Chains A and B, each alone.
Chain A
Amino acid sequence: MTDVLLPVAIAVPLVAATLPIGLGLRYDDAGWPVAAAATTALAGLAAAIVASVARGDRLSHALGGYRPPIGIELVADPLSAAVLALVAAVSLATLVFVRVAGPRGNPFYSGYLLLVGGLTGMTLTGDLFNLFVFLEIVGISTYALIAADRSGASAYASLKYLVVGTVGASLYLLGVGYAFLATGTLNMLDMQAQLAQVGYGDPLVRASYALIVAGLGLKIAVFPIHAWQPDAYQRAPDAVTTIVASLVSTASAYALLRVSYTVFTVEFLAASDAITGTMLVVSGASILAGSVLAAMQSDLKRMFAYSSVAQFGMIVAAIALANETALLGAAVHLVGHGLLKFGLFLGVGLLAFGYGARRLEDLASVAREAPFTAGSIAVLALALVGIPPSVGFLGKWYIGVGAVESSLAGGGAAGIGIAVVIFVSTLFTLSYVARLLERFYFAGVGLPGDHGEPAVADGGTGGDDTAGRDDEAPEASPRRVSPVDGAPTVPGVPDRVPPASLAVLVAATLVAVALGFAGFGLAEWFDPFLTEVFA
């Protein structure tokens, strides 16, 4: 009877979403406790689901008792269980930061829980139209949350996201409509069988897949259609960015992976060179452009937002390669990147909360003031570059190896091209991460009270490898990062950030590093999914 867990996991956050508004009539701050209880329950359910998937079960539940080809099916396999675990963990952990950083108010928590419920639904559904509904639930709540701090700029960024995101979801719906026309079914597994009968060369089927890829590509924010994403991430309140950046695009990429392999299958991808070729070119451009644009930013949130464009480019490329190793890389990177971005945006949010600074220039030598926060950001950023041992390395490694393998197996130059692009992008990633490390650890040489060089020498030493950023600010000594008034203190460490959030950040960092040692474990975890796909 464990399959009942699936509808319950979706229902808990969705039903709980009504409570903050309802209880808000009587209690002013009912939102956070309700959200905390619901996400804790979700975490428990997710753990139970992961445990039973780990035992080798494939959980499946027919909603309302209608059997799958007609009714809606909920499914949990290793891939969806992994993404579900990420969703549950991140949504619970983000609440810790929301508690101190806001946005406050009961309606916010309703939106938050709707978002969590939608994300859970996206990971668990086995029905294409149901996936569209959850995609839109996620979309609508994200638009609302991004505008939650009531500033005009965030409303504009959110509206832009709304227009582009809705076009994306509508294109997805159109693609599903075409596939429905071709097969007459909406269940993923049933459609897989029906599509094989219709034939993969059918124009309707190809158009359907192309529209789905375009639609989800808009949602994922791959390069030419990414323009909504940096603005949305930058303008959103810090706590919202933390959850949106780590989960929303991830869920869309998961949907693309799921639709590509469970519905359209490897054979279809192999038979549609034009589509996969286009996907590879677009994702290659995405990897490069995202890294280059990220290296040009000085706002930390914007920098990591562009970095997401590059990282999701890698995942889309791995999906298009249709190679077992690359697909493993895509699955690992999907979860790993979500975790890294959660930690990074949480760290950036903490620095903004405790020190009021969110631009690279304003964070000179912040590692001296906040060693644990800065250290965690540094480790996570290095993981993003792909320095082993870290989960970021594993994902990139598998995708890169898979790309080369697909070329060696006669897949043409595309695989090698992707591998080269990933390598170049890693160098760019290293360049902006190095800038960040330089700022955090070395820019403050000569600060008053420092044991280093006297203040006169700092302009030269600091500006060595920072692309001239230091030279254009010829102060006698860099402005010292100072905590904002009333910044919280953490017992035992000098960081002036909220203690619980700092603990979460450090924990996320440790998990990201620890997962780096679990390469074989992860490969084993995703193995049932991969064998099913490449059977």
Chain B
Amino acid sequence: MAPEEVGVAGLAREEAESFLYREARLIDDLELEEWLRLFTEDGVYWIPIDDRKPVEWNTSLVYDPPLRREERVYHLLHVPFPAQAPRSRTLHLVGNVEVTAGDDGAFRVRSHQVVYEVRLGDFRQVGLGEVRPIVARVEHVLRRVDGQLRIALKKVLLIDREMSQSNLTFII
């Protein structure tokens, strides 16, 4: 039986989907403090350029262990900066969710995500008012902590990850 049809023992696909939908909603609603709480204590938010290379010897678009993730959220919520003034509005579409078990007791959830992003402000100006699709395969490693699903790793593999990018100063 294909795992995506029923999930694996301990995590049904429906529960994984609900979790991803909730995460997407928190990001799109800018409930980022709440989003931080979705992670395990040592969770990592990672947007690699090349995930086959060791992270310590390669730059990533984002490599955020807990403190860096907190800093990113603090920056977005409390410190105005030109690349987010005006802000981005985002909308996540989550699909193709599959659940597999890891041999370390963690669950691996793979999804396809299209994130539509638009900068607010005077839409007649350059860079504002253009809806941009950001297309990615996303891999979550989830664990149960006190009965709650938590993100040990969120890896976002943009389909154009080694190519030229525009402003990505928001949470994907």
Q: Do A and B bind each other?
A: no
Which B residues fall within an 8 A CB radius of A? none
